[in-house]
Every structure is written in C-alpha cells, then in structure tokens.
C-alpha cells in the first residue's frame, strides 16, 4: 500500500503562486481557505494532491494539472471581481465554469477588451510581473491635443502623484480632437493609461485592450469567451521561461 504524500496547506498554496508561504498562513488564519468544502483556520494542516483547495473562492490548480487559459471580451460596465458589494455585473456573472479560474490583470469598470483567466496561480502571477515583459496593447480614443512632445514625454516614463509609470509606446491612428491611438505598455498599473493621458492634458473616452502577450482579442465579440490554443500557451511559456 502506497501512502499519498502530504504537504502543509500553506506550502501547497505558496506553490500555486497565489501567495507567499507567510501570506498563505495568514489567509488560512483569516478563514479564507477551504479544503474539500470545509473552511480551515489552522496553518497546521496537511493535504494531498487529491484534496481540492480554494483561496477566496478560487480553486488552485493541482500539481501536473493541464494549464488552461480562457480569453474573454469584457464589455464596458462590467467589474473585474468575483463579488461586488454594489451588486454590479461582474466578469463571473452567469459564467459558473469560471468560478475556479483566476483573472490575469484587470480591466477597470469602463474599459473593454481582452481579459484572460487561468486555472494556474503561478502562471497568473508571472504574467502580471513587469519583469516578465509581456506587452499589453490597447486601442484608445482620447479627447485633446496629443502632441509629439507629449508622446515623447510618456515614452520616457513619468511620475504621477509619486507613482512611477514606465515607458509607453504610442502611435496615432487618426489625429483629431477625438483621436484614436494605440498604446503599448508592460506594467498594467491601476488606470495607468487614463492617468498618463490626464497628465498630458487629454481625456480617455474609450479604452479597449486588444492583446496581452501572445493572446489577441481578434474577432471575439463583447461578452464572448474562447479557450486559448495550445500554440498560444506554448508562445506564452517562451516568455515566462526565458
């Protein structure tokens, strides 16, 4: 008879990439970890690969589980969260098969476009790290005069209210008082593009994420979901593992 190897619960969570081991222990004590449907509140708890572990409602991937990534076209007016106290529509509303998935990065309430989900916390964490170098590309409609001087300033990186924003590559598609531009960044800080545009005297009236690393929005319609291809995931690992 072969006994299944047991692992401390906090270590299992840390290995998933959701949190450090110390952070995982705090999550357990705070009652945010569930094992096989039961809340665990002591870090002195052991699990095997057969146990289902969820943190804040997200089921973490088991070892050697196939990595899955979903592409979702988030519409404007939908919030990127699992539960909203104001009862607004969330990216999980009506999509029960996504409850065990983790979203990668965020799109704010008024933004649209490509939002990715995965079943692997470590992959999600690495994709969000600026050091991984994944490019996020957005089509943005702005009101205001975006001069070449302003574009050069944003390309060098700027500091706004004490927060440093890295280089933004900006190309103007159509110049007018309501210009369409393409913006490429690699950090994805909270409302980053909106804040950068405000900094140079422009206002964003529409923002659509069209790609994130090797994943593209393509012709995916608002509210629609599509499973990423094996080729796209292979390309992702070329970024993550280099």
CATH number at residue 227: 3.30.70.580
Please state, for a pLDDT cut of 90, what percent of the chain lies above it. 56
Domain-embedded: residue 204: yes
Contact 103, 91 (CB under 8 A): yes
Find the domain containing 167 and state its range.
135-212
Let me know whether 122 and 77 are in one domain.
Answer: yes
Determine the pLDDT at residue 1.
Answer: 38
Enzyme catalytic residues: 108
For 76-135, the pLDDT digits (tens) are: 999 998 878 898 899 988 764 455 688 898 999 999 999 999 888 778 888 988 888 899
Let me know whether 16 and 46 are in one domain.
Answer: yes
- For 90, 111, 169, the CA distances from 100, given in Å and listed in that order, are 15, 24, 35
> pLDDT class for 213, splitting at 50, 70, 90?
very high
Let me know whether 99 and 117 are in one domain.
Answer: yes
Residue 9 has pLDDT above 70, yes or no: yes
Q: Which residue has better confidence, 210 or 93?
A: 210
Determine the pLDDT at residue 126.
Answer: 85
Average pLDDT over residues 198-213: 97
- CA 32 vs. chain centroid, Å, equals 21
Domain-embedded: residue 64: no
- CA 21 vs. chain centroid, Å, equals 21
Q: Which residue has better confidence, 168 or 5?
A: 168
Please state, for a pLDDT cut of 70, what percent of the chain lies above it. 92
Let me know whether 207 and 233 are in one domain.
Answer: no
Q: What is the CATH number of the domain that holds 180?
A: 3.30.2350.10
Determine the pLDDT at residue 210.
Answer: 98
- For 11, 171, 188, 231, the CA distances from 16, given in Å and listed in that order, are 9, 38, 22, 23
Distance CA 111, CA 165 (A): 19
Residue 15 has pLDDT above 90, yes or no: no
> pLDDT class for 239, splitting at 50, 70, 90?
confident
Q: Looking at the 3D structure of the chain, how many domains does it have?
A: 3
Q: Which residue has better confidence, 61 or 155?
A: 155
> pLDDT class for 242, splitting at 50, 70, 90?
low
φ/ψ of 155, rounded to 5, equals: -65, -30
Let me know whether 119 and 73 are in one domain.
Answer: yes
Look up tokens 């290995």; give the residue: 15
Domain-embedded: residue 2: no
> pLDDT class for 150, splitting at 50, 70, 90?
very high
């Amino acid at each position: 008879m072969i006994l299944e190897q047991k692992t401390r619960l906090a270590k299992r969570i840390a290995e998933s990439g959701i949190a450090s081991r110390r952070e995982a222990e705090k999550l357990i004590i705070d009652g945010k970890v569930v094992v096989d449907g039961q809340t665990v509140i002591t870090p002195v708890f052991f699990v095997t690969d057969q146990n289902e572990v969820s943190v804040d409602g997200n089921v973490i991937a088991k070892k050697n589980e196939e990595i899955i990534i979903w592409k979702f076209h988030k519409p404007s007016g939908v919030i990127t969260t699992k539960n909203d106290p104001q009862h607004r529509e969330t990216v999980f509303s009506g999509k029960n098969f996504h409850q065990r998935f983790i979203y990668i990065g965020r799109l704010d309430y008024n933004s649209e476009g490509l939002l990715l989900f995965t079943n692997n916390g470590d992959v999600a964490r690495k994709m969000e790290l600026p050091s991984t170098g994944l490019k996020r590309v957005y089509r943005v409609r702005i009101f205001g005069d975006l001069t070449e001087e302003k574009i050069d300033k944003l390309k060098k990186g700027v500091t706004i209210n004490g927060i440093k924003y890295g280089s933004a590559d900006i190309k103007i598609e159509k110049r007018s008082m309501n210009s369409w531009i393409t913006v490429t960044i690699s950090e994805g800080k909270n409302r980053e593009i909106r804040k950068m545009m405000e900094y140079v005297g422009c206002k964003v009236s529409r923002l659509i994420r069209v790609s994130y690393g090797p994943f593209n929005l393509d012709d995916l319609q608002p509210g629609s979901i599509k499973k990423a291809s094996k080729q796209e995931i292979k390309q992702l690992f070329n970024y993550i593992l280099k």
